[in-house]
Each structure stands twice: as structure tokens, then as C-alpha cells.
Copies of this chain bind each other. A is one copy, B any other.
């Protein structure tokens, strides 16, 4: 079954077919079930996970937290079945369409932790605390896990924790800065979950929504060695002008940490990590690589330009038109037929009141600026299936989209001006419809020049 629901209308030529095929390949590689299935094999009492073999002697516990973790849990159940002793998945809401037998779904709060998160975290901890050295704990981690799995260091109250999170989220701090602070007020983040699980074996399967896949920052790295310190947390809070306005209890905990009165998070080389395997099973670069392999199979020369794309969506679309033009003219930086792949996340500065998102805006801008190029097709898609405030995941455009719009009396430049990319592109049957995919490895862009 394809992830893209409106394949038919998107395929207008054999080149569109290739581009849609590649988008589908990228989305499939990011699918939580596909990713789990691809990374685990089971034979009798032996599991091979991320290339490493585990003989199950004791209990197998499965715990998970994050937006994709219920789907990951479903796949784990299918694979491991009766091998699983027990397990819990913490999710933003209890799914109605998924039946789990061995695993129980618990409610957590997102994007700011609340009572549900704290209560559910306690349940998870009481399960794994009992694990001993013959046991295996499989941890399913995905985006959103930071809020869904949390236990603050006393005496930080839930209210104080929520206030800290609110302040961090609106401070302009990036995800690494935010998670550095979070790790140092938490009893489970920054590798501390791995400490709790020890001496049992930890295998973490991770879907990354953080650019560059730094495992210690995905869901604040509960099973990862922490390279940051209490001192770093102080520096960030001061740099972001938050030190004097965060709750007193938070400041006190961090100050005690700096003095050594609270132990640091476990660092790289700590003995705990001898029993931990962290494996990223889906990420932007994994999807890009799957797309690259597929493009080569289909006879294309490929170039992965970046998995860390950033910039205003419409300007990136315009820039890519300039890249396409160079490929078309000089066969450089890749020879034709060429597929250039990009991943990451652009931004949209909203000026109009239209309906759209960053992927459709990138595609719309490309369509405008590549309008004299005959031999190009571009797709841009958000892997979570929902691009901005629209019901589409992205769009597929080509060098004729602009003139087709002119014939239909649609002025694409006006639509772009009012951030109305979805309205324009859906009228032209150019939007990609997937519905919510239940995963997120950021955005994927395919640029084909033939």
C-alpha cells in the first residue's frame, strides 16, 4: 500500500513517476513499522538488532515514548510476540485504531510535561527498575519524547518544570540548548534512564527528528552518554537571559549540580554504556540514502546536497531553480539524468493569510523561478504528512506548472505573496496527500533534471 494517496493525479510523465516513486521510498523508510522491521530479526530466542545479536535469557521489557512510539510498539509486538515479558508506551493520546496485546499504552503530555507524563513515567520506571543482568530492555524513542517521559529532580515541582519548559521554548534557544537544560533537571534524561536500567541490557531504537541525528539530543537522550554539564546549563540559561527568572527550585538544583552535590549525568565512557546500544532506525539521512539507492536503480545520477537544509522556503525554492538551470545547461554538479536530494527543514515567514506550508511554498517558488525549464520536476514533502496549516504533505511541480497556471487564470506569484501555496497547487492537482503518517524525520526534497 502506498503512503501517497493521490498517486494517479501526480504522475504526468515518466519523470513525475520517478519523483513520486522517490518520495514514496523516502516516506516508507521513515515509517515506524518499516524501520523497526528492517532493523530487527528474530529467530527462536535470538534477536539481531542493529547488527548485534542478543540471546534472550531473562525478561524482555519494551518501553517507548514519542509520537511514533505506538507504531514502533506495534511492529515490535508483531516481531517479538511471546518473547515480550511486559511493556509500556507513553503517547500523546491513546490510539483507538491500534490494538496492542503485550504492551500497554499510557498517556503523556505534549509539548509540555504534565500530570499524565509524570504518572506514566513512574509506571515505566517501576517496570525497568526490577530488570537484572539477564534482562533486555528495548526502548523506543521518537520525537516528542522529551515531554512524554520525565521525572524532575526534587524538589522541582511539576509547576516549576512546566514554567521552565515554557520559558525555554519561547526564549529563542535551539533544541540542543533546550535539551541541555532539560537533561540537568531530570532523573531520566541525559543517560540517566540507562543508569536505572543497568545492569540489564538496553537497546534503544530511535527515530530522529533532530537535524544531524545527535542521539544525546533526541528526546533529551535518556539512553545516550551526555556531553553537556550542569555548568553548560547555567551558561545557556544566562545567555538566554533566563537565569534570574526561572523557578527558584530549578536554579537551586542546577547550583547543587555545579557544586557536585547532585551527580552529573553519565558521560561517554561511563561503564553503564557497556550495556547500551543506541540505534537510529529512521532519520532524514536514512530516508535520503534510501531514495538515493532507488534513484540509482532507476538509472539516475545522484547527489545528496544536504540533510541539513535551512532557509526561507521560497528562497530555497528559488535557489534550487538556479541549481536546476546549471544542471540543465552544464550537466553539473551531476550529469543528466540527475536526481538531487535534500532534507532538513525550511522556514516560512507568514505575511499573507493563505493556506500552505513550507514544502508547498518551496515547490511553488521553484515552479515560478524554473518556469522556462522544460526538463525539471521537483517534489518537496513533510514526512509527518501535514505541511503547515494545510491538509497536504507537500507538492510536485515542474517547468510547465507556471504556464499551466497562466492558462487556468491562476497567478502563482500572487498566491506565493499571500502564503497561499496549498490553494494554488491544489487547484492544479499538484499537492501530495498522505494524511498523518505517524512519523517525523523532517522534510524531503527531490529535484530531477533530465
Contacts and interface: CB of A to CB of B under 8 A. Distances in A.
Nearest to A319: B311
Contact of A311 (B305, B316, B330): B316
A302 to B, nearest CB: 9
Contacts of A287: none
Interface string A104-120: 00000000000000000
Contacts of A369: 310
A216 to B, nearest CB: 15
A435 interface: no
Interface in A321-380: 321-323, 325-326, 329-330, 332-333, 344, 369
A329 B208 CA distance: 16
Nearest to A341: B333
Contacts of A332: 304
A308 B326 contact: yes
Contacts of A319: 309-311, 315-316, 319
Contacts of A153: none
Given A312-B312, A333-B333, A369-B310, A305 B326 contact: yes
B312 A325 contact: no
Contact of A312 (B211, B308, B315, B323): B315
Interface string A283-316: 0010000000000000000011111111110011
B306 A212 contact: no
Given A311-B315, A315-B311, A333-B333, A306 B285 contact: no
Contacts of A151: none
Contact of A306 (B307, B308, B309, B325): B325
Contacts of A344: 322
Contacts of A189: none
Contacts of A285: 330
Contacts of A333: 303-306, 333
Nearest to A309: B322
13 contacts: A212-B325, A285-B330, A305-B326, A305-B333, A306-B322, A306-B323, A306-B326, A307-B330, A308-B325, A308-B326, A309-B322, A310-B319, A315-B316
